[in-house]
Amino acid sequence: MNKKNHYDILGVPRNASNEEIKKAYRRLAMKLHPDRNPGDRAADEQFKEINRAYEVLSNPQKRAAYDQFGDAGVEGAGAGGGASFSDIFGDIFGDIFGAAGGRTAERQSQRGADLRYNLSLTLEQAVHGATLEIKVPTLIACKTCHGTGAKSGSTPSNCRTCGGIGQVRMQQGFFSIQQTCPTCHGEGKVITNPCLDCHGHGRTRSAKTLSVKVPAGIDNEDRIRLSGEGEAGLHGAPAGDLYVFIEIKPHSIFTREEKDLYCEVPVNFVTAVLGGEIEIPTLNGHVNLKIPSGTQSGKMFRLKGKGVPAIRSGSPGDLLCKVMVETPVNLTRRQKDLLLAFERELNDGQDHTPKADSWLGSVKKFFEGL
C-alpha cells in the first residue's frame, strides 16, 4: 500500500471534489481506527497512511503541489494546513448528535405545548361579537409545588451525573462525544423528594374555564390567540398558548360570504306584477323593501350596510336579497277560471312577456339553422 499515491490510498480519482475526498476519508477512518482494530498492526499502518493522504489532499495548496511534484512537493510540510483528524470526526459526530456535540450545553426549560380549541358560534354571535366562557382540558402547574415538582420545603438538586450541566462527555480513544445526560435528561436538576400531588412532574391534569372575547365580524377559520393559556411548561417553564378556532353554524335564513349576507325572499305573484313593499329580516331588525312592478324571479336587491362589519375597519358589508316569485298552488275552480280569463286578456297584441318572446325567437332561429 506504501507504493500507492494519495488518491489510490483514499480510493478516489485525481479529479475528485473536496467533498468526495472527505467522504472517502471518513469511511476509511471509521473502518481502520485502532479502537476498532486492537492489535492489528496492518490496520494501524493503513490508518496512518490515510491520515497523511487526507492531510495533503484536503489542503488546496498542498494538493496542487502534490499533483505537480508528487511527494517532493509536500515534503517537510507541517500539519497546520487542511482539516485535522479531529475536525473530520467533529463533523461526523456533529451530523449524528447535532450542533450541541463538542460544546457545553446550558440547561433549558421546556415551554408548554400550544393547544387548539374549536369554538362554535351562531351567525348572530359572529356578526355582533360576544364574550363566551369555554372549558379547556389541559396540564396546569401543580398548585402544591408551584410547578417545581419538588415536595414543599425542598428544592431540586444538581444532577450528580452531569454536575448540573445537562450534558455528559463520553471518551473513546482520542475523541470525545457530548450527549444529553441520561439521568436528568438535559435538565441539570434531579428531584430527590418529589411532590406527592404531581409525583415530581410539576404539572397536573385539569380543566380551566376561560373567558373568550369574540370580536364583531369574525369569520370561519379565524383564530383567537390566548397567550399563556396553553399547557404549563415543565418545572416552572412558561406555558404555551391557546388558539381558539372559529366555526360558524349554518343559519336558517342567511348565508355569508366574507362581509356580505345573502338570502332568498319569496314574493307572491300579484306583488311581483303590480309592485309593492315587503318586510325583510336583517340581523339588526326588520326593514321594508320596495318591489317595483314587473319584478322577475331571481332579481337581486342590495341593502347597503346590512351585512357583516369588517373585523378591522368596521365598515359593514351588504345584504343581498334574491326575489323568488312564488307560483300559486291549491287553486279553487273560480281562481283557475279567473287566471284563464286573465291569460285571454293578455293576448291583446301587446308585449307582456318580453323574456318569453325573446327566448322563443332564439329557439326558432336555432331550429331554422339545423
pLDDT digits (tens, 9 = 90+) for 268-286: 989 999 999 999 999 888 9
Digit-coded pLDDT (tens) for 164-203 = 888 887 766 556 677 888 888 777 888 888 888 888 888 8
140 strand-pairing partners: 204
Where along the chain do the CATH 1.10.287.110 domains lie? Answer: 6-97
Helix (H) / strand (E) containing 51: helix 41-57
Digit-coded pLDDT (tens) for 327-348 = 989 999 999 999 899 888 887 7
8 A C-beta contact, residue 320 and residue 301: yes
Domain 255-362 fold is HSP40/DNAj peptide-binding domain (2.60.260)
Task: Please report the DSSP string for 215-255 in residue order.
Answer: PTT--TT-EEEETT-SPPPGGGPPP--EEEEEEEPP-SS-E
To the nearest 10 degrees (0 to 180), the angle between helices 18-32 and 41-57 is: 160
Confidence of residue 116 (pLDDT cuts 50, 70, 90): very high
Where along the chain do the CATH 2.60.260.20 domains lie? Answer: 115-156+191-248, 255-362
Enter the C-alpha cell of residue 241.
398558548
Q: Could you give the CA distance from residue 187 to residue 147 in angstroms, rounded to a whole number?
A: 14
Quick one: what percent of the chain has pLDDT higher than 70? 85
Confidence of residue 314 (pLDDT cuts 50, 70, 90): low
Confidence of residue 75 (pLDDT cuts 50, 70, 90): low
Digit-coded pLDDT (tens) for 248-262 = 999 999 999 989 999
CATH 1.10.287.110 fits 6-97, yes or no: yes
The highest-level CATH class for domain 115-156+191-248 is mainly beta
8 A C-beta contact, residue 224 and residue 159: no
Closest by CA position to 201, among listed 112, 120, 286: 112
Q: Could you give the CA distance from residue 252 to residue 324 in angstroms, rounded to a whole number?
A: 17
Closest by CA position to 275, among listed 300, 294, 303: 294
Q: Could you give the CA distance from residue 172 to residue 179 in angstroms, rounded to a whole number?
A: 13
